[in-house]
């Protein structure tokens, strides 16, 4: 099976879990918006949950809830990021964004509902209560004002800053905006297994940074029909990125170094970590 086939098989499992969860909501426009926002996407974060879980001997039926949960948080963050008050995008995953298809109030509420759904999913899963508590606490920390929201706020502030951000500030911004959910996803496997997550966290930090650099490169050199979202926006919006700092070839080189570091973090895990190695190769070669 190729990596893309494996990621797509994992995506089908995650989609089934999300579909079941959302089908229990009242049939209204918020539910329609949730279904819309959850449709499509690579499910890379959910894939990382399921593969880090498999690597630690956790069965798929225990890990699927966490995989669906992180995809619900990710979908919420995209809906809110697309709002006119943030990145102001009209296309996501090849379809109109939620506020374009409905309106801004609906998009705010759909995002709110998706974020709450994530914690419901973690709580509903079969793992022992203390494991679910650890997952909820870490998800609240990664998705909240310490990480994801902090990174997004820095990203918005950088657009109007008088001086360009330092490279270390760009890293901090991106570790929050992009890295936090990737770190949570990779740590979920060892947390579910009651093991130490530090090796997975090391891998995830490098993967998250490489993933974001690839995203910045796609903004400059990608194809909208492949990414399903608008490109060539970063420069006009004054975004602080690795490409704005290092140029295209410098950013590509940096992404390759990060993937090497991610691979080194997996060295102790043996052959079972191959699906995670493939994810690292994918993040910098991807066209979507
Ligand atoms: C609103 C608190 C808040 C945060 C928003 C999602 C986000 C943070 C910003 C979107 C812009 C951006 C470049 C985010 C970095 C993460 C990223 C590259 C998201 C897209 O992830 P993919 O490519 O998307 O995995 P799919 O659609 O495949 O799930």
Q: Would you state the pLDDT for residue 101? A: 98
Ligand 1 touching residue 95 (CB < 6 A) = no
Q: Which residue of 215, 227, 235 sits with most ligand 1 atoms within 8 Å of its CB, as the best mutation to test the pocket? A: 215
Contact 200, 52 (CB under 8 A): yes
CATH number of the domain within which 127 lies:
1.10.600.10
3-state secondary structure 126-182: CCCHHHHHHHHHHHHHHHCCCCHHHHHHHHHHHHCCCCCCCHHHHHHHHHHHHHHHH
Contact 251, 239 (CB under 8 A): no
- Cβ-based neighbours of 210, under 8 Å, separated by 6 or more: 255, 258, 259, 262, 280, 283, 284
Q: Would you state the pLDDT for residue 20? A: 98
Ligand 1 touching residue 191 (CB < 6 A) = no
Cα dist from 256 to 48, 169, 171, 270, whole Å:
20, 20, 16, 21
Q: Which residue in the block uniquely carries the two structure tokens 């399903």?
A: 228
CA distance 203 to 122: 23
Provide the residue-wise pLDDT of the chain in tens; the chain has 288 residues.
Answer: 999 999 999 999 999 999 999 999 999 999 999 999 999 999 999 999 999 999 999 999 999 999 999 999 999 999 999 999 999 999 999 999 999 999 999 999 999 999 999 999 999 999 999 999 999 999 999 999 999 999 999 999 999 999 989 999 999 999 999 999 999 999 999 999 999 999 999 999 999 999 999 999 999 999 999 999 999 998 888 888 999 889 999 999 999 999 999 999 999 999 999 999 999 999 999 899
CA distance 44 to 166: 29
CA distance 134 to 122: 10
Ligand 1 touching residue 148 (CB < 6 A) = yes
* Residue-wise burial string across 201-237, b where 16 or more C-beta atoms lie within 10 A, e elsewhere: bbbbbbbbbbbbbbbbbbbbebeeeebebbeeebeee
Q: Would you state the pLDDT for residue 67? A: 98
Range of the domain at 8: 3-285
Ligand 1 touching residue 227 (CB < 6 A) = no
> Model-level pTM?
0.97
CA distance 239 to 165: 10
What total number of domains does the chain contain?
1
Q: Would you state the pLDDT for residue 239? A: 86
Ligand 1 touching residue 177 (CB < 6 A) = yes
Evaluated on CA atoms 127, 130, 132, 134, the torsion sign reads negative
The interaxial angle of helices 198-221 and 167-174, nearest 10 deg, is 110
Q: Which residue of 41, 45, 78 sits with most ligand 1 atoms within 8 Å of its CB, as the best mutation to test the pocket? A: 78
CA distance 250 to 243: 8
């Amino acid at each position: 099976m190729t990596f893309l086939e494996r990621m797509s098989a994992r995506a089908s499992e995650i989609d089934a879990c999300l579909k079941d969860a959302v089908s229990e909501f009242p049939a209204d426009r918020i539910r329609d918006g949730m279904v819309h926002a959850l449709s499509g996407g690579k499910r890379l974060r959910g894939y990382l949950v399921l593969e880090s879980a498999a690597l630690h001997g956790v069965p798929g039926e225990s890990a699927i809830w966490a995989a669906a949960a992180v995809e619900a948080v990710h979908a919420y963050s995209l809906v809110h990021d697309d709002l006119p008050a943030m990145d102001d995008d009209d296309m996501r995953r090849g379809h109109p964004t939620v506020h374009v298809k409905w309106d801004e109030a609906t998009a705010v509420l759909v995002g709110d509902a998706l974020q709450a759904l994530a914690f419901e999913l973690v709580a509903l899963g079969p793992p022992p209560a203390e494991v679910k508590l650890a997952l909820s606490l870490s998800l609240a920390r990664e998705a909240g004002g310490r990480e994801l929201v902090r990174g997004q706020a820095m990203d918005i502030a950088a657009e109007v800053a008088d001086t360009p951000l330092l490279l270390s500030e760009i890293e901090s911004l991106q570790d929050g905006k992009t890295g936090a959910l990737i770190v949570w996803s990779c740590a979920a496997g060892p947390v579910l297994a009651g093991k130490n997550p530090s090796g997975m966290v090391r891998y995830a930090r490098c993967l998250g940074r490489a993933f974001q650099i690839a995203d910045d490169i796609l903004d400059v050199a990608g194809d909208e029909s492949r990414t399903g979202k608008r490109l060539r926006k970063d420069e006009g919006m004054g975004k602080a990125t690795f490409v704005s700092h290092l140029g295209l070839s410098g950013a590509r080189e940096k992404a390759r170094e990060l993937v090497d570091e991610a691979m080194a973090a997996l060295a102790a895990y043996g052959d079972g970590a191959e699906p995670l190695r493939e994810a690292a190769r994918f993040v910098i070669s991807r066209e979507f």
